[in-house]
């Protein structure tokens, strides 16, 4: 178990990729802080399920990743509860699909806040402790959209390109402190976020559901298969291992060949 007696904070982990990462960290022995929105009883079932299944402590933080004070509060609370934050996974993210001229201002602000600025604020709070311990792992869930664009996703693509730059900057600042900072850039992963954008894409492109699945989503992915949440989680666990100590500032694609094209 590579993460025994360590603490992992995973933002946006009540669902999808974040939940799979939180569970994978717990499987490796880490105490975990899960975060995100959802129905109280479902979140509590996940939290207590993690404790039972993996024999670690799991706490839930309801911090809203669009609110800097709540983000910093989440990290402070994790340190108070567990003594340190050793692994920070900035994963919370939302999507909105619309041509730029119709893109609502508040959606732009919300996506930049949740998908980009939240990672800055969480790092701002967690880095001093990691530097002091001379060990840390920061993993940002970016996207193939941190490397290439698609139409109608202006805020998302801007935020994801931004997080790739933030990752590189933090990696350089922390290079001599035993703290690595990387991003994982999945292609299309089958999660509620992908499922939810199908109706908007149908509207924006005037397509049927099948056309959106085959001609838009998997059209970009040469393997013609969705990435799985467990595959992303495995890479996150690997990045926490000693074997990965010299991987820092990297943007690791897991996209079925999408960005090779
Ligand atoms: P998801 O919708 O299943 O999960 C998103 C999580 O973020 C949920 O737990 C949700 O509650 C949480 N969240 C949303 N707004 C929040 C807020 N304001 N404060 C706190 N938590 C909030 O989506 P997912 O597909 O698992 O996406 C996770 C990350 O992976 C995102 O950053 C997304 O951009 C990225 N990503 C997803 C795909 C994909 O195909 N699914 C591909 C590339 C990158």
- pLDDT tens for each residue of 77-114: 999 999 999 999 999 999 999 999 999 999 999 999 99
CB 29 within 8 A of CB 8: no
Quick one: pLDDT at residue 36?
98
Question: Do residues 155 and 222 both lie within one domain?
Answer: no
CB atoms within 10 A of CB 180: 24
List, edge to edge, every strand of the sheet that includes 136-141.
Answer: 58-61, 31-35, 7-10, 87-90, 136-141, 179-186, 251-254
Ligand 1 within 6 A of CB of 92:
yes
Query: What's the number of domains the chain is made of?
Result: 2
* 1 falls within a domain: no
Residue carrying the six token digits 């999408």: 258
Ligand 1 atom at minimal distance to the Cα of residue 160: 34
* 161 falls within a domain: yes
Question: Do residues 84 and 196 both lie within one domain?
Answer: no
Quick one: pLDDT at residue 117?
99
Question: Do residues 143 and 238 both lie within one domain?
Answer: yes
Weakest-pLDDT range from 36-45, 108-117, 196-205: 196-205
Q: What confidence tier does 2 reach under pLDDT thresholds 50, 70, 90?
A: confident
Ligand 1 within 6 A of CB of 141:
yes
* 126 falls within a domain: yes
CB 28 within 8 A of CB 56: no
Ligand 1 within 6 A of CB of 64:
yes
Give backbone dihedrals phi and psi of 169, rounded to 5 degrees, phi first: -60, -50
Question: Do residues 32 and 114 both lie within one domain?
Answer: yes
Query: What is the pairing mode between strands 7-10 and 31-35?
Result: parallel
Q: What tokens does 50 get? A: 């993690």
Domain containing 246: what range? Answer: 7-189+228-260
Q: What tokens does 161 get? A: 């390109």
CB 60 within 8 A of CB 34: yes
Question: Do residues 56 and 169 both lie within one domain?
Answer: yes
Atom 33 of ligand 1, residue of closest alpha carbon: 93
Ligand 1 atom at minimal distance to the Cα of residue 227: 40
Question: Do residues 20 and 86 both lie within one domain?
Answer: yes
Atom 8 of ligand 1, residue of closest alpha carbon: 12
* 36 falls within a domain: yes
Question: Do residues 97 and 204 both lie within one domain?
Answer: no
pTM: 0.96
Question: Do residues 63 and 157 both lie within one domain?
Answer: yes
Which of 34, 64, 146, 191 has the most ligand 1 atoms within 8 A of CB, as the residue to mutate?
191
Q: What tokens does 257 get? A: 């060949």
* 113 falls within a domain: yes
* 178 falls within a domain: yes
Distance CA 117, CA 65 (A): 8
Residues catalogued as catalytic = 156
* Averaged pLDDT, 163-168: 98
Identify the CA nearest to 240 among candidates 184, 163, 180: 180
CB 24 within 8 A of CB 137: no
Å from CA of 77 to ligand 1 middle: 22
Å from CA of 192 to ligand 1 middle: 8
- Which residues fall within 8 angstroms of residue 137, CB to CB, at 6 or more apart? 86, 87, 88, 179, 180, 239, 240
Distance CA 55, CA 42 (A): 19
Which of 36, 156, 192 has the most ligand 1 atoms within 8 A of CB, as the residue to mutate?
36
Distance CA 58, CA 178 (A): 25
Quick one: pLDDT at residue 17?
97
Residue 128's Cβ-count burial label (10 Å; 0-12, 13-18, 19+) is exposed
Q: What confidence tier does 166 reach under pLDDT thresholds 50, 70, 90?
A: very high
Å from CA of 94 to ligand 1 middle: 5
Which of 92, 114, 223 has the most ligand 1 atoms within 8 A of CB, as the residue to mutate?
92
């Amino acid at each position: 178990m590579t993460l025994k007696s360590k603490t992992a904070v995973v933002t946006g982990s009540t669902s999808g990729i974040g939940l799979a990462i939180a569970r994978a960290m717990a499987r490796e022995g880490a105490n975990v802080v899960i975060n995100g929105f959802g129905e109280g009883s479902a979140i509590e079932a996940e939290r207590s399920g993690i404790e039972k299944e993996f024999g670690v402590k799991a706490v839930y933080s309801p911090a809203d990743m669009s609110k800097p004070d709540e983000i910093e509060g989440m990290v402070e609370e994790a340190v108070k509860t567990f003594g340190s934050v050793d692994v920070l996974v900035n994963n919370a993210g939302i999507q909105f699909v619309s041509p730029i001229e119709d893109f609502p201002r508040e959606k732009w602000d919300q996506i930049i806040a949740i998908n980009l600025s939240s990672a800055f604020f969480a790092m701002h709070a967690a880095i001093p402790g990691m530097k002091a311990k001379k060990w840390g792992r920061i993993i940002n869930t970016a996207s193939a959209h941190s490397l290439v664009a698609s139409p109608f996703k202006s805020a998302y693509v801007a935020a994801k390109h931004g997080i790739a730059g933030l990752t590189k900057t933090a990696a350089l600042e922390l290079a001599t402190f035993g703290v690595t900072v990387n991003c994982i850039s999945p292609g299309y992963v089958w999660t509620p976020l992908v499922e939810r954008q199908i109706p908007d894409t149908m509207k924006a492109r005037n397509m049927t559901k099948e056309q959106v699945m085959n001609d838009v989503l998997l059209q970009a992915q040469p393997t013609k298969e969705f990435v799985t949440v467990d595959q992303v989680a495995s890479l996150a666990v690997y990045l926490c291992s000693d074997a990965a100590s010299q991987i820092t500032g990297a943007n690791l694609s897991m996209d079925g060949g999408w960005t090779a094209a």
